[in-house]
Structure 1
Amino acid sequence: MAPDKFKGSASATDVAAAVSRGIRRARPDAVITQVPVADGGDGTVDAALAAGFDPVPLTVSGPTGEQVSATYARSACTAVLELAGTCGLSRLPGGVASPLAASSRGLGEVIVAALDAGCRDLVIGIGGSASTDGGAGMLSALGAVLRGPSGDVLADGGAALADVARLDLSGLHPALAEASLVVACDVDNPLTGPVGAAEVYGPQKGCDPAQVGLLDAALSRWADVVAVTTGADHRDVAGAGAAGGVGFAAIAVLGASLRPGIDLVLDLVGFDQALAGCELVVTGEGSLDAQSLHGKAPVGVADRACAAGVPVVAVAGRSTLTPAELARVGILGSFALLDIEPDVATCLAEPLPLLERLGHEIAVQQLP
């Protein structure tokens, strides 16, 4: 049982548990292994916790500076962190966008906490960003200092990068030198330009056209300063534009490597080992649609399961994919809430009883 979350409706853990209950109603003898997954956005830490990692609660800066409660997951020297749960869109006060001032500082504060706790292998999910600050806030929390032309320390936020003149990395957290950072990243956008962070993702974060232009110019200046400081220009690296440029800062300054989010999470939670002896894999997410075909969790799960010769079906709130489209990515069929409950509001508000019913159907139709 390896679903992603139904965003805004049910966690991956709750989805897995509900479908499992439905399967057991039809097949009490079924042996079910629940391995909730995520694709690097919100739910990444939850997936690690479900796999046996320990929760580490802390308080960090939200996207606009307010203090928020967050959690990272730890097992021995490995820490799993996510941007979404610290300074992502979901943590904006009142849901009000702040595209020019929002910062990635909170993610840096979680990294500091994990390093201070002795973690040296860091897995970082960066989906769901509220900011377009080129990762400058994250670096500032880690000890970097950004200064303007007169030597003043810059404020947080992407707009402030229009005035960046110097980057001082001498105060970076010393443990970074011996740490390994792997970032979950599912986009290949560069930092700047017509397919860069501001142009492509700025509007989703509340930018109007003028603000998009301002942020793109500010990111270009930021990339110039980072290149002078580090001796290498990473603005055009695939994935540099991820999370408003957090990908850029992670690559250019922290020496991080980027990996597809679902592959990273599947390795983290031991998915391949859990497949041994399975007769069926159930995956899913809230909406199975065209976006699902581009590296989302259900397709990543199906890739691994098919390689092991295990058939796959999917549960969803809704599915707009044809049977042929599903088959092309290794999914035999889909079971959607809207198939059994036409009222969308009910599906969103009370998904778990409906998921139990789908689990019962899956057992009847798919299990020998």
Structure 2
Amino acid sequence: MAGLFGSAQSNSATATQGSITGDIALNNPPEDSIQDLSFSPVSLHLSVASWDNKVRIYEVDPNGGSGKALIDLGAPALSTCWSKDGTKVFAAGANKQAMMLDLGAGSTTPQTVAAHDAPIKCVESIMVNNSPMLVTGSWDKTIKYWDLRQQTPAATVQCKDRVYAMDTRDQLLVVATADRWVEIFNLAQPNSAYKQIQSPLKWQTRTISCFADATGFAIGSIEGRCAIQYVEEKDSSSNFSFKCHRQTAPNTRDQSNVYSVNSISFHPIHGTFSTAGSDGTFHFWDKDAKHRLKGYPEVGGSISCTDFSHDGSVFAYAVSYDWHQGYQQNNPQYPNKVMLHSIAPDECKPRPNAKKR
């Protein structure tokens, strides 16, 4: 069966080695490094947050897509998400605000819907007691919940440290902060953390992503490791971590170059997941079988962020500077693009009989 862009696998693909030869570049990408990607939960529309101060909204198609709208924050855009019904796009960033563009109403003027005392690193759309809300996580060490009908936050929760990463699925919200803390929230009782743990990984957290079934999360760090962590203690025997995004150093046998895991995304249908990193590669994994499904060749630059489309048919990844070496190492020659990878039918499927007996 062909994917969105025709055949998703070239003749060079093997059982464990995937191909990127059919991947398509998104037309008119941002003008500076790309910080976040978010697919609409109902359609093939993609929002892209960039250090050029803008969140751009594209309609994805086999010809590379087209731009439909944008939100200009006036400062680097660090995060973007969609409302659950796909009618609204949110953008947040270094201007300490979150803004909303109501596409469903045909609006072209974004409105400010959230504010913090420091840059907002993360924004997510959630449901609390069957009501749509927004949650923002900031370097001011708080998360705030917002009812979009009100100008003030519905609640403010003090976190352990600056918010670095955040994700949500169903009633699960996970917040990763500085000093390797992970705060786990049950959105049925959102005003206080259900659990607070320190990451099982020894180095700074870079990304966090909820399982498709919301029973746990995967966490990635700057030291080329990923951890699989379940929320409930009864499932803790299934917790594990593994090395990834490492390459044997030139002219050595036992030394590795270690790269940051910048982004983890879960496939919405199969529950498998991707990792992508500073080494410029992405991989698909089956956490239940503890097995890598496919690895892909280097794409020519760091992969800063990724996301799967709502139906799992397209995997978007940004080839962009990821800031791990500071602003001094960023330069105009560095690639800056969003690539669209069509998912073949068996590419992200878990292995048969993967579950433990």
TM-score, length of structure 1 as denominator length: 0.29
TM-score, length of structure 2 as denominator length: 0.30
Higher helix share: 1
Larger CA Rg, structure 1 vs 2: 1
Higher strand share: 2
